[in-house]
Amino acid sequence: MFPETRLRRLRKRKIQPLVRETQVLATDLIAPLFIDETLREPSPISSMPGQFRIPPDGIAGVVRRLYDAGIRGVILFGIPKTKDSTGSSAHTKGGVIQNAVQSIRMEVPEMMIITDVCACEYTDHGHCGILTDDGMDLDNDQSLALMADIAISHAEAGADCVAPSCMLDGQVKAIREALDAQGFSETPILSYSTKFSSSLYGPFREAADSCYSCGDRTTYQMDPANAREAFRESRIDSEEGADILMVKPAGLYLDILKEIRSLGLPVAAYQVSGEYAMIKAAAMNGWIDEKKVVLESLTCIKRAGADLIITYFAEDAARWLHEK
The per-residue DSSP string of 89-143 comes to GGG-TT-HHHHHHHHHHHH-TTSEEEEEE-STTTBTT-SSSPBPTTSSSB-HHHH
| Residue 220, pLDDT score | 83
| Residue 128, pLDDT score | 80
Cα-trace Rg, the chain: 20
Whether residue 14 lies inside any domain: the answer is no
Whether residue 117 lies inside any domain: the answer is yes
CATH code where residue 161 lies: 3.20.20.70
Whether residue 200 lies inside any domain: the answer is yes
**Cα gap 268→237, rounded to integer Å:** 14
**Nearest of 108, 42, 99 to residue 72 by alpha carbon:** 108
| Residue 237, pLDDT score | 98
| Residue 214, pLDDT score | 59
User: Which of 293-308 are b and which e, b meaning 16 or more Cβ less than 10 Å from the residue's Cβ?
Assistant: bbbebbebbbebbbeb
Whether residue 222 lies inside any domain: the answer is yes
Question: Which regions of the chain are under pLDDT 50?
Answer: none
Question: pLDDT, tens digit, for every residue of 272-313?
Answer: 999 999 999 999 999 999 999 999 999 999 999 999 999 999
| Residue 134, pLDDT score | 79
| Residue 212, pLDDT score | 61
Residue 106: which domain range? 24-323
User: Angle at the Cα of 211 (from 205 to 214), degrees rounded to 5?
Assistant: 155
Q: Model's pTM, two decimal places?
A: 0.95
How many domains are contained in the chain?
1
Contact 150, 187 (CB under 8 A): no
**Cα gap 111→33, rounded to integer Å:** 13
**Residue 192: its H or E element:** strand 190-195
Query: Which DSSP state fits 48?
Result: S
Catalytic machinery residues: 195, 248
| Residue 211, pLDDT score | 58
Question: pLDDT, tens digit, for every residue of 5-55?
Answer: 999 999 999 999 999 999 999 999 999 999 999 999 999 999 999 999 999
Whether residue 286 lies inside any domain: the answer is yes
